[in-house]
Structure formats: structure tokens, C-alpha cells
């Protein structure tokens, strides 16, 4: 197993097992076959999963999307404005950031930016990666859909237990992100 496997499984399954009833999902950025395969494991309860680039944000109707996953796109104010326009009132996003040890300020900036539009903005770690989930309603640990996450087949990294554990950080990081991360 490599970091790509962990990335693909966590970036897909964590948000899709957090949102109660997602029907429309956008996966924007680099999309390899494994990432698509992971997303299609949710096709029984998700009506529409689209893969593409940032142009997808411009082509969608207002308040029409449940989940947006940015695979290798850095979040900025313009992208966030487009996301806010098309994301439903209970929607959530997931995007890659930098780890605390790699670039503490970038992680804090990403959390603050996402937190400006979302009720929840939390980092999560897996493998050697750090990402952020930002949600308008669903909490990634309190609202995990166990009936969905426990029944996923043929996984190499993601599990319900890892979903929950990925939000646990050492005390010094937790303290440093207090007031920045919206938990």
C-alpha cells in the first residue's frame, strides 16, 4: 500500500460517510482510476458523481451540490466563493492542506479560510498527508454514518475506526489550532 491508496480512500470515504444523504458529488482535480473506483463504491446511494476540473464549479446551478472534493486544488477565496454558490446548505467540502510540521501557517490559513464559510473546519491526518473537511451541518466524528462506512468492501486503508482516529492530534498541535479549527 502507498500514500496514494490512503489519499484516495480517505478523501473519498471520509466525506461520503459523513454527509447523511449525499446525492450530488463533485470530485475536482486529478482523478486517477483508483479514486474513481473508490467513489463508485457509493453509487448505490449517490445519484450523481462527477469528475473534472475547476470548470465544473462554474457550470453548476446554485445550491445544487452536496459534497465537493478537491484532490489537488489549493483552496483560495475565489474558489471558495464558487463553492459557496453551488453547495447546498448542508453541504461539505474536503481538500488537501499541509501538515502542521510541514507548514503550520498554511494549515492555519486554510482552516481560517474554510472556517469563514463553514460551521465546522477540521484537519484530519492519514499516512503522511493532512487534509481539511469543512461542513455546514454534519460533524465528521459525531455524524459518521456507520451503516455506510462499516459496509465498504475491498479497502486497504480506510475504516470507521481510522475515520475517527484521523482527527486526533498530539496535544501541542491541538492547542495550537484551538480557536482556528472549528470543531
Mean per-residue pLDDT, 90-101: 98
In sequence order, the 6+-apart residues with CB closer than 8 A to the CB of 101 are none
Per-residue model confidence (pLDDT) at position 45: 87
Which tens digit of pLDDT belongs to each residue from 25-71? Answer: 999 999 889 999 999 999 988 999 999 999 999 999 999 999 999 99
Domain count of the fold of the chain: 1
Look at the alpha carbons of 78, 141, 9, 109 in this order and tell me if their dihedral is positive or negative.
positive
Question: What are the DSSP E strand ranges found in the chain?
Answer: 24-28, 48-52, 65-70, 87-96, 120-126, 129-135
Q: Are 59 and 93 in contact (CB under 8 A)?
A: no
Q: Is the pLDDT of residue 1 over 70?
A: no
Which tens digit of pLDDT belongs to each residue from 130-140? Answer: 999 999 999 99
Per-residue model confidence (pLDDT) at position 51: 95
Has residue 123 been placed in a domain? yes
Has residue 183 been placed in a domain? no
Q: Tell me the residue range of the domain where 57 lies.
A: 3-177
Q: Tell me the pTM.
A: 0.96
| CATH code (residue 173) | 3.40.50.150
Has residue 182 been placed in a domain? no
Query: HSE (CB half, 13 Å, CA atoms) of 16?
Result: 32
Amino acid at each position: 500500500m502507498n500514500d496514494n491508496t490512503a489519499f484516495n480512500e480517505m478523501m473519498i470515504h471520509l466525506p461520503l460517510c459523513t454527509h447523511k444523504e449525499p446525492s450530488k458529488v463533485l470530485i475536482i482535480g486529478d482523478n486517477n482510476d483508483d479514486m474513481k473506483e473508490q467513489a463508485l463504491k457509493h453509487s448505490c446511494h449517490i445519484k450523481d458523481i462527477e469528475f473534472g476540473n475547476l470548470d465544473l464549479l462554474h457550470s453548476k446551478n446554485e445550491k445544487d451540490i452536496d459534497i465537493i472534493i478537491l484532490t489537488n486544488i489549493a483552496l483560495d477565496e475565489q474558489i471558495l466563493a464558487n463553492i459557496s454558490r453551488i453547495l447546498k446548505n448542508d453541504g461539505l467540502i474536503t481538500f488537501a492542506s499541509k501538515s502542521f510540521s510541514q507548514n503550520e501557517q498554511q494549515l492555519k490559513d486554510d482552516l481560517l479560510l474554510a472556517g469563514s464559510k463553514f460551521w465546522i473546519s477540521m484537519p484530519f491526518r492519514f499516512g503522511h498527508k493532512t487534509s481539511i473537511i469543512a461542513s455546514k451541518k454534519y460533524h465528521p466524528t459525531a455524524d459518521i454514518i456507520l451503516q455506510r462506512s462499516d459496509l465498504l468492501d475491498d479497502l486497504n486503508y480506510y475504516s470507521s475506526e481510522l475515520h475517527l482516529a484521523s482527527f486526533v492530534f498530539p496535544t501541542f498541535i491541538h492547542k495550537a489550532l484551538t480557536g482556528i479549527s472549528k470543531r
